[in-house]
């Protein structure tokens, strides 16, 4: 009779700790599934195929930027909001503020909060500089990276612009 009573008491009483451990493991599995979904749906664009070549290009860019800085050159970059984005005008100026004729120019639009929207924008010659209409398809913050090269020197400038909602 004493054994039956002991068995009956142990059946009626439930321990909460196995359920607590199972709940924690389940919550962790849900969080990990969320991390996995985020990683798969937002690939990292920072990977390069040839790191040696990328490092060499980076060193060349630094040399060109250092040469431009030593010459006192700077990039005059102006933006004017439009209904679909921004009108960008840029020109290379020497140390005295005179415009220089650039050999090459590029403008890149980047969306830091979302991948797949970064692109290089086509520039047109605009007198002493270059201009482009930059479409900004989504509201929020965008980065513009402008680069002008002249006689082996390069000037790079990044600005943030905001597309209103």
Residue 41, pLDDT score: 83
pLDDT in tens, 27-38: 999 999 999 998
pLDDT at residue number 4: 53
Q: Residue 7: which pLDDT band, with cuts at 50, 70 and 90?
A: low
Reply yes or no on whether the pLDDT at 132 is more than 60. Answer: yes
Q: Are 79 and 159 in contact (CB under 8 A)?
A: yes
Burial degree of 110 (CB within 10 A; 0-12, 13-18, 19+): middle
Candidate ranges 2-11, 22-31, 132-141; pick with highest mean pLDDT: 22-31
- Map residue 148 onto helix, strand or coil: strand
pTM: 0.64
CA distance 31 to 39: 12
Rounded mean pLDDT of the chain? 87
- In 13-145, which ranges are continuous DSSP H helix? 17-41, 51-71
- Listed by start position, the domains of the chain span 2-41, 51-163
Helices (H) and strands (E) in the chain, counts: 3, 9
What is the bridge-based pairing of β-strands 85-93 and 99-100?
antiparallel
Q: How far apart are CA 113 and CA 138, in angstroms?
A: 11
Contact 81, 139 (CB under 8 A): no
Which pLDDT tens digit goes with each residue over 41-53?
876 666 778 889 9
- Top CATH class, 51-163: mainly beta
DSSP assignment, residue 52? H
- What pLDDT sits at residue 39? 85
Distance CA 66, CA 151 (A): 13
Strands 124-126, 119-121: pairing is unpaired
Burial of 61 (0-12, 13-18, 19+ CB in 10 A): middle
Are 160 and 141 in contact by the 8 Å Cβ rule? The answer is yes
pLDDT digits (tens, 9 = 90+) for 101-130: 888 899 999 988 777 889 999 999 888 889
What is the pLDDT, as a whole number, of residue 63?
92
């Amino acid at each position: 009779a004493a054994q039956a009573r002991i068995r009956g008491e142990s059946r009626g009483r439930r321990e909460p700790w196995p359920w607590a451990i199972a709940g924690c493991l389940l919550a962790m599995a849900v969080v990990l599934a969320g991390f996995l979904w985020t990683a798969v749906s937002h690939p990292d664009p920072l990977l390069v195929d040839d790191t040696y070549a990328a490092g060499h290009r980076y060193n060349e860019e630094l040399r060109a930027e250092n040469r431009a800085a030593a010459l006192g050159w700077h990039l005059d970059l102006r933006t004017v909001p439009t209904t679909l984005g921004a009108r960008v005008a840029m020109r290379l100026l020497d140390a005295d503020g005179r415009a220089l004729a650039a050999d090459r120019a590029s403008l890149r639009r980047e969306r830091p909060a979302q991948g797949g929207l970064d692109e290089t924008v086509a520039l047109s010659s605009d007198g002493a500089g270059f201009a482009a209409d930059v479409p900004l398809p989504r509201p929020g913050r965008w980065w513009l990276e402008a680069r002008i090269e002249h006689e082996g020197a390069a000037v790079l400038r990044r600005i943030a612009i905001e597309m209103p909602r």
